[in-house]
Amino acid sequence: MGRPSRKHEILQAALACFTEHGVDATTIEMIRDRSGASIGSLYHHFGNKERIIGALYLAGVGEYAGMLDEGFRTADSAEACVKLLVTSYIDWVAANPDWARFVLHSRGRVEAGELGDQLREANRLHYGRILQALAGYREQGLLRPLPEDCFASIVIGPSQDFARNWLAGRTQSDLRECRELFAQVAWESVRAG
């Protein structure tokens, strides 16, 4: 595996600073020091702290979307696709707790910032791929007829709420141990009949 790009190194340094000091208290200088990047390199890749925040957010949701896209290539049933939405989310959160915390707490800031349109477009494309992966199963009547804008909340909402509490240290159960339970509940919530 090759050396991480300078851009990736800066994003990872930013995440470490945001985790340690908070997003608002972190300065460009802190990120520069942590990453070892020159100020010119940092501004070349991002321009300012808000763009770093947006890029880090988009990279996180992009990684989850990539996991889903890969999984959809091998999922061979409506049940497998629905469960994949949950298990991929839980797997990503469990593997990236600091990044997941950042994503869960930064959405509004990114939506309101310079990269808001980019985030909305990424979300539109991501949700479109999910709907496309499930379209044939919907047509076959294997999924409950639900408004499209409710589907994701029904499927991912419970695991996302639990993950938020797990990340905050407010659960007794480990998120990974609940993975199959949340996947089964999601399937039972949207399957036909």
pLDDT for position 48 = 92
> How many Cα atoms sit within 13 Å of 165 on the Cβ side?
12
Alpha-carbon span 34 to 29, nearest angstrom: 9
pLDDT tens over the chain, length 193 residues:
456 688 999 999 999 999 999 999 999 999 999 999 998 988 899 989 999 999 999 999 999 999 999 999 999 999 999 999 999 999 999 999 999 999 999 999 999 999 999 999 999 999 999 999 999 999 999 999 999 889 989 999 999 999 999 999 999 999 999 999 999 999 999 999 8
For the domain made up of 55-190, give the CATH fold: Tetracycline Repressor; domain 2 (1.10.357)
Q: What is the DSSP string of 108-130?
A: HHHHHSTTHHHHHHHHHHHHHHH
* Torsion angle in degrees (nearest 10) through CA of 2, 88, 110, 134: 120
Superfamily of chain region 1-47: Homeodomain-like (1.10.10.60)
Domain residue ranges in the chain: 1-47, 55-190
- Domains 1-47 and 55-190 fall in the same CATH topology: no
Q: Which residues contact 78 (CB under 8 A, 6 or more apart)?
A: 134, 137, 140, 142, 143, 191
pLDDT for position 5 = 85
